[in-house]
Amino acid sequence: MSIKEYLAGAKMSGSVQKLMTPGLAVEFIQPWYTPLSTTPSTTGIAVGGIGSTFTATPAGTTPVMNVMPGVQVRTEKASDLRFNNFFFKEAVLSAKAALVIGNFAAFGIYNNNFPLLDANGARVFGDADMKDQKKAEAKLNKVLADKTFFETNKAAFERWHIQFSDRTQALIAAGKDSAAINRAVLIDFFDGMVGEKAAREGALTAAWANDSEFLGQPGYDAAKMKYTALYPVSETVYEGKGVAITKTQSSYVTPGDERLSSLPVNATVFTLENNTKETREVTIVQIQDSITGYMAKKDRQGVQDSSFVLVPAARFPKGVQFDKELEDGRSVRGIEFYNEKALVESDFNGCMGVSVAWNKKDNLNVSVKPMFYQDDAKSVLKAALQSGRVASSWVKNVYSGRETIAGAIAVTAVLKPKQKVSFQFNMVLDFPEIKLNKLTSAKKYTAFYPEAYGRVVALLTEALAADKTFDDRLKAFENLVPKKPVAKLYKTAAKQAEFKSLAINTLSFLAEATVWDKEDRFLVRECADYPFFNSLDVYFYGSFSLLALMPRLDGVVMKRFGDAILAVNENRRRHHEFVNLPYADLPDPKLEGPRAVRGAVIHDLGSPFDAEPDAYDWHNVKEWKDLAPKYVLMVYRHYHKTKDMQCLADCKEAVYAAMEYLEKMVNPGENFPLTHGTDDTFDNLCSYGISVYCGSLWIAGLRAAAKIAELLGDNDQAAKWNAKSEAANKEFTDSLWDENEGYFRFFVTPMEMKDLNVEKYAELREAVKVSLELPEDPNAGVKAINEWLCAGEIPDGEDLSKNELRGLKKAWITAQCKEAFTKSWEAKIANDCDDVFADTMLADTYLRLLDLEPITDSAKAKSNLLRIFNTNYKANSPLIGAANLVRKDGSPLDEFNFQAHDVWIGIQYSIMTAMMFHGLEKEASVLADSMIGNLYDEARVPFAAPEGFNGSCRLHPEALVAKFGLSATAADKMLKELLKKGALLADSRISPKLPRNLAAFTKAFGAIAKSNKVDVNELFTLLHSTALKYTAGKYFRPGMVFALLYK
């Protein structure tokens, strides 16, 4: 598959000016946390092997790198991090084309030190020439016709150790064209002072925001750069008069090829095509800083995020040239950076390489300058562009060994009209060390290349050998998005291509957010803001992407979790705010406990700052009810996808231990481990009793565990878990399904034995016997009461919901004999919730994906999904997505319950997957359109998908006061005008119908802005930035999109 075919229809496409312009959505700055910046300027496609990447924006900037394991590293000034630092010069060549002097002062000094002679032994450049640049240039060009010039000065050139480029040496060896030889010799001799006159030159990075110049060269016009990207490839077309320049950047990450995907190598191909009528010379120069020996410091001290700042450091760094001939006929020339001695204290203790590979038939002139001071980069670049080459010499001056260094590669091509050439730059980032707190290891590729010496060239050689499979590798990515399921979602080819972009571009996250070591630890950050590895509650969703890309590694993660589940760690720690209050009195003993208990499924496999399992300490996750069934479902999912029976057997003990641990939370005679607040991944949404999320996962976990037991020959245990799942399923449906409303409610709180005063049970039986016959045994009585609370039809004509009926029943039975109930029951009387939860069908969908018995029938599932679509999406946050939790009429919960209002991207894909099972393709496509619109148009961060979006923020008068300096009275008046005109909904949320372009907005609301003396542009920005915000960026959960493609 060609690049053109692969990129056809890619959603990330357009002018760099457009793609780099922030959308209308803004980052959600919450009262307690400011997320790391996630904007078009700070995000982009991941370039490099898994765990060794940098981020490349459409502009060509590289704002962060993910080379230091587990964290992302930036520089104090964004433009100081340069992994994509390319420049160009174009000149028109002809027999009459004159050479020009770029640095006349240096030219004069150079001539004094190295005087050229004519055939008579006189200086070519006399004193008069050195006083007038035009005279000097005239004399310079006169030399071109001197057939004796080279032979006259040949001995001097040897004495002076003049470095002639490959092209010059070839011309000298051929000895046929004295004018061409003289031109080449003069350019090389003057080493950056002399060259062809530039038709145009500059940086191949866009002039954008505050960066319009790079190393003294003007940035490229962003409006004339056309960018297209679909992971792992991006293409930039530089529009303009002259030779057409195209840059194609790619990574070697390949579905199913773990070895190749681990290599810390990337490629950048330049294609030059001369569409003019003249012969043209084009030079491409790469300037690359060496980061070997550098350090990193924490960006925001005391904050859990993964952001670090690069700290340049130098201890005798070196740069050396290397050359290699490839079996495919290409030549390679490059630079390897390293330190004379390993710097164990460095965060970048290793080597890096930059190189270019080219075909000899293209007659390119390739030269390298392996080492110069970074402070000299501007002058080195100017000279390279002037002359089209660089010399390997190093102007050392006074050297301490503590100077930072850089290197340069120059490639010059002479193109006749209609001629086209391509050549490939590569970068190797061989920084193998993994030095986390409590984990010291080395990156995965060191398992294949354990010896450090010569590794850069060896890694490069293997990567270059894989270039011949490039088209096949693109096809492998294409195959990750099969056409058949996508055709069910979308009918048109254009929309199908957009969905392909939505899915494949999520894989960029895996490359940049992963620590992968030689022992096969595969640790994926939850996100940049919450850098916990393989957070199980999130991994449950996002790992569908890993299962698609590298299925074996999903099994490795399952086994790592299995080991952690079986571990015991008696070290005690505190939770919530008591993490930092070690001596404070605890209001609840559950706020402290041991780090690991056998069978208690953990939250994560560590973090960059604590690499032991379960680094997350805010919640005591040993009380969470979703983790154990999620783990069991994933273990079976891995088998279902790969048929790897060994992985199933390896995880058996952990599966059993996890289920047994959670089973102990099920009270005798009951069917569920009841929830008691924030007991799951929705850690700011409280649920109690039998909740639709944890309850359904418990049923699904039982069924998956039973299937695992059956496959492993334990039929007795399989039968027990299957029986428990059936009993739980019945109570789940009886308790939560509302037939009249057509959906599963959020939660109900059943009666427990602790709620009953057993000594007064006989009195209760007597008091209710006319309406409710209770058995003599109190345990059976509690069960009977719960069945009665769930039963009963609402009489016709009664405006009563099932939830209200349940509440009335609770109040009635309590009133009949108050003494029969304990204080714990009082809190439950009014504690049933009929809010609509977006991810209700998750567990049912997982079971259907795994070909296990679902929780509900298709009619109920379809009805529930339509309810979610109509309330959580259409009524609450149209065009954005289905909010996590809303009132039954679709209205939002409390304004500051942000997690309820959030539209989590992974949850949208969960809902869509469920919809595809039940004939709701149209509704699924609407949600998909919302995600595409949010990521690509509104936020413009498709390679850094956030956890979610939020469209429930309200416009308050205080915002108008702060923004426009209005008085409180004037702000109130303006707010009422916006409300009346339809800019706001009745609760002051922004209307989803608010015009999205300034002209239409001005037409509708310009009069209000004018009458209140505020700028209409600023009002437009304020309303839209209030309308749509996005939470923590670069998040793993959106990998759930691959669930849509699982079967």
pLDDT in tens, 239-259: 999 999 999 999 999 999 999
CATH code at position 610: 1.50.10.10
Q: Are residues 107 and 237 in the same domain?
A: no
Choose one of 826, 843, 877: the last residue of a domain: 826
Q: How far is CA 601 from CA 276, 610, 614, in A?
A: 66, 18, 9
Q: Quick one: pLDDT at residue 233? A: 98
Q: What is the mean pLDDT of residues 618-646?
A: 96
pLDDT of 817 above 80: yes
Residue 259, exposed/middle/buried by CB under 10 A (0-12, 13-18, 19+)? middle
Q: What is the mean pLDDT of residues 385-408?
A: 94
* Residue 208 belongs to some domain of the structure: yes
Q: Are residues 380 and 454 in the same domain?
A: yes
Q: Do the beta carbons of residue 564 and residue 539 sit within 8 Å?
A: no
Amino acid at residue number 982: G
Q: What is the mean pLDDT of residues 810-825?
A: 96
pLDDT in tens, 131-156: 999 999 999 999 999 999 999 999 99
* Residue 357 belongs to some domain of the structure: yes
Structure confidence at residue 21 as a pLDDT band (50, 70, 90): very high
Residue 175, exposed/middle/buried by CB under 10 A (0-12, 13-18, 19+)? exposed
Structure confidence at residue 715 as a pLDDT band (50, 70, 90): very high
* Residue 481 belongs to some domain of the structure: no
Count H helices, E strands: the chain? 33, 41
More confident residue, 844 or 795: 844
More confident residue, 846 or 796: 846
Q: Are residues 427 and 563 in the same domain?
A: no
Q: What is the mean pLDDT of residues 433-441?
A: 96
Q: Are residues 781 and 892 in the same domain?
A: no
* Residue 794 belongs to some domain of the structure: yes
Q: Are residues 617 and 604 in the same domain?
A: yes
Q: Quick one: pLDDT at residue 793? A: 77
Can you give the residue range of the structural domain that contains 369? Answer: 36-88+199-472
With b for 16 or more beta-carbon neighbours within 10 A and e for fewer, the 707-737 pattern comes to: bbbeebebeebbebbbebbeebbebbbebbb
Q: Are residues 328 and 182 in the same domain?
A: no
> Which tokens in the block code for residue 609?
């700052």
User: Cβ of 138: how many Cβ atoms within 10 Å?
Assistant: 12
pLDDT in tens, 724-775: 999 999 999 999 999 999 999 999 999 999 999 999 999 999 999 999 999 9
The number of angstroms, rounded, from the C-alpha of 690 to the middle of its chain's C-alpha atoms is: 35
CA-based Rg of the chain, rounded to a whole angstrom?
34
Q: Quick one: pLDDT at residue 1018? A: 96
* Span between the terminal Cα atoms of the chain, in Å: 24
pTM, two decimal places = 0.95
pLDDT of 498 above 90: yes
Q: Quick one: pLDDT at residue 256? A: 97
Structure confidence at residue 1032 as a pLDDT band (50, 70, 90): confident
* Residue 19 belongs to some domain of the structure: no
Q: Are residues 767 and 645 in the same domain?
A: no
Q: Quick one: pLDDT at residue 815? A: 96
Choose one of 149, 170, 196: the last residue of a domain: 196
Q: Quick one: pLDDT at residue 32? A: 78
What is the secondary structure of 955-1024 as a DSSP string? --HHHHHHHH---HHHHHHHHHHHHHHTSB-TTSBBPTTS-SSHHHHHHHHHHHHHHTT--HHHHHHHHH
* Residue 494 belongs to some domain of the structure: no
Q: What is the mean pLDDT of residues 781-807?
A: 88
- State the Cα–Cα distance between residues 1025 and 958, nearest whole angstrom: 15
Q: Are residues 346 and 399 in the same domain?
A: yes
pLDDT of 797 above 90: no
> Which tokens in the block code for residue 584?
């404070």
Q: How far is CA 723 from CA 665, 714, 728, 729, 916, in A?
A: 17, 15, 9, 10, 29
* Residue 477 belongs to some domain of the structure: no
pLDDT in tens, 851-909: 999 999 999 999 999 999 999 999 999 999 999 999 999 999 988 888 999 999 999 99
Sign of CA dihedral 579, 580, 583, 588: negative
Q: What is the mean pLDDT of residues 214-232?
A: 97
Q: Are residues 366 and 380 in the same domain?
A: yes
Q: Quick one: pLDDT at residue 684? A: 86
pLDDT of 1030 above 80: yes
Q: Are residues 619 and 667 in the same domain?
A: yes
**In terms of Cα–Cα distance, which of 748, 815, 753, 806 is closest to 780?**
753
Percentage, residues of the chain above pLDDT 70: 100
Q: Do the beta carbons of residue 657 and residue 599 sit within 8 Å?
A: yes
What is the secondary structure of 262-277 as a DSSP string? HS-EEEEEEEEE--SS
CATH code at position 420: 2.70.98
Q: What is the mean pLDDT of residues 934-960?
A: 94
Structure confidence at residue 269 as a pLDDT band (50, 70, 90): very high
How many domains is the chain partitioned into structurally? 5
Query: Average pLDDT, whole number, for the chain?
Result: 95
Amino acid at residue number 970: A
pLDDT of 31 above 80: no
Q: Are residues 817 and 958 in the same domain?
A: no
More confident residue, 110 or 799: 110
Q: Quick one: pLDDT at residue 129? A: 87
Q: Do the beta carbons of residue 576 and residue 616 sit within 8 Å?
A: no
Q: Are residues 155 and 286 in the same domain?
A: no
* Residue 14 belongs to some domain of the structure: no
pLDDT of 795 above 90: no
Q: What is the mean pLDDT of residues 944-956?
A: 93
